[in-house]
Amino acid sequence: MAESDAALIARSVLGGDNRAFAVLLERHQSMVRGLLLRLTGGNGSLADDLAQETFLQVFRSLGGYRGEAKFSSWLYRIAYNKFLTHKRRQLVPDLEFGNGTDEDCPHPDRAIGARIDLERAMTTLKTAERAALTLCFAYGLSHVEASAVMGLPVGTIKSHIARGRDKLRLRLAPWAKEVAL
Amino acid sequence: MTRDNTADRGDWLDDLLSAPPPLPGNDDFSARVMAEIGRQGRLRRLVLGAASVIGGALLLGLMPWADIMALLQQSQKLAALVPSDRDLLGLAAGLSTNLAITAAGAALLLGWLLREG
């Protein structure tokens, strides 16, 4: 049976066991990298650099984790803040990644095509909309949990989700019948 | 924690959104992070070690100054006691030794940082 996050954290913090941290890293890295890939608009190398910074900070401050939120939520919060810090430093405008209007034709393979177009359409959303949709839909966080991760009121999270879905529904309209089949 | 966003789900877009996002292509991500953690750990230990050596050297360097101050106070009080040339030479030698140890420690640390960086 797999060791719980809490047990691994205890081994890492109290026993200085780096192998325990390696297991935590292996367990959660795909979610953190996936979130950051979406936030960076598909920039894989930047997403991995930010993910590395995230896990280095997690390693340094693991002793300060009090278990008040799920460990994964704590990770997402650090990753999200890393991205916001990077964005502020680079003065990246929110809609830098394109407008998505030139690629409205559905991909011949339905499942893959829909996923590709979804990622493309995601880049046209605001950062908070992308983060809220990813946390609540792909990672299954509740609005309350997403609110804690993003440091925003629950009502604002709901607004971001509603606006993000409306924009995606418009962008991905050609897929409505294809995917539903 | 109770889910409160189940009402969001149900149509084709929500099904699409529920799939996990893709991953960057770097397969050795975990190994890279663990290597960096190891490197930073070694760096931290070295800096702490070097700081201890340099701190110790500086502490030793302060001792002759304390002797000097004590001597000056005594000489003021007694108005007759003047440090001999031999005393001053000894104090200078002590200070020079400690400065040399400090400089060597700093040079070692700088060399290591340049090699690692």
- The band of A66, judged by pLDDT with boundaries at 50, 70 and 90, is confident
Q: Touching check for B6 and chain A: CB below 8 Å?
A: no
pLDDT for res A69: 86
pLDDT for res A94: 60
Q: What percent of chain A has pLDDT over 90?
A: 55
| pLDDT tens per residue, range A134-143 | 999 999 999 9
CA distance A153 to A143: 9
Residues 83 to 112 of B: which have CB under 8 A from any A CB? Answer: none
Q: Touching check for B5 and chain A: CB below 8 Å?
A: yes
CATH of A98-181, one of 1.10.150.120, 2.10.69.10, 1.10.10.10, 3.30.2130.30: 1.10.10.10
Average pLDDT, chain A: 85
Give residue B44's identity as a one-letter amino acid code. R
Nearest residue of A to residue B21, measured between CA atoms: A34
DSSP SS3 for A70: coil
User: Does A12 or B58 have the greater pLDDT score?
Assistant: A12
A1-92 matches A98-181 in fold: no
Residues 29 to 88 of A: which have CB under 8 A from any B CB? Answer: 29-31, 33-35, 37-38, 44-45, 47-48, 51-52, 55-56, 59
Number of H helices, E strands in chain B: 3, 0
- The band of B83, judged by pLDDT with boundaries at 50, 70 and 90, is low
Chain A residues near residue B43 by CB distance under 8 angstroms: none
Helix residue spans in chain A (DSSP H): 5-15, 18-39, 44-61, 71-90, 110-122, 127-133, 143-150, 154-171, 175-180
Nearest residue of B to residue A177, measured between CA atoms: B12
> Any idea which residue has 């990644």 for tokens?
A97
DSSP designation for A4: P
CB atoms within 10 A of CB B93: 11
A116 in the Ramachandran plot: left (φ > 0), alpha (ψ -120 to 50) or beta?
Answer: alpha
Taking the domains of chain A in order of start, what are their residue ranges? 1-92, 98-181
- Cβ-nearest to B23 among A33, A139, A161: A33
Task: Please say whether the dihedral angle defined by the alpha carbons of residues A78, A84, A90 and A94, taken in this order, is positive or negative.
Answer: positive
User: Does B93 or A14 have the greater pLDDT score?
Assistant: A14
Helix (H) or strand (E) holding B32, with range, is: helix B29-78
pLDDT of residue B71 exceeding 60, the answer is: no
CA distance A58 to B53: 30
Q: In sequence order, what are the residues at sequence separation of 6 or more whose Cβ sits closer than 8 angstroms to the Cβ of residue B78?
A: none
pLDDT of residue A7 exceeding 80, the answer is: yes
Q: In sequence order, what are the residues at sequence separation of 6 or more whose Cβ sits closer than 8 angstroms to the Cβ of residue A43?
A: A37
- C-beta of residue A85 within 8 angstroms of C-beta of residue A38: no
Q: How many residues can be counted in chain B?
A: 117
Q: Report phi then psi at A69, rounded to 5.
A: -120, 165
Range of lowest pLDDT (A66-70, A99-103, B92-96): A99-103
Closest approach of B11 to chain A, Cα-based (Å): 8
Q: What burial class does residue B70 get, using C-beta atoms within 10 Å of its C-beta: 0-12 exposed, 13-18 middle, 19+ buried?
A: exposed
Question: Hey, are the CB atoms on B29 and A51 less than 8 Å from each other?
Answer: yes
Measuring CA to CA, how many Å separate A41 from each of A29, A55, A136, B64? Answer: 18, 20, 18, 63
pLDDT of residue A153 exceeding 60, the answer is: yes
User: Does B66 or B12 have the greater pLDDT score?
Assistant: B12
Chain B residues near residue A161 by CB distance under 8 angstroms: 5, 8
Q: Touching check for B12 and chain A: CB below 8 Å?
A: yes
The dotted CATH code for A1-92 is: 1.10.1740.10
> Any idea which residue has 């939520």 for tokens?
A73
Q: CA neighbours within 13 Å on the CB side: how many for B107?
A: 6
Q: Touching check for A161 and chain B: CB below 8 Å?
A: yes
User: Does B57 or A58 have the greater pLDDT score?
Assistant: A58
| pLDDT tens per residue, range A87-122 | 888 766 564 444 444 444 555 566 677 888 888 899
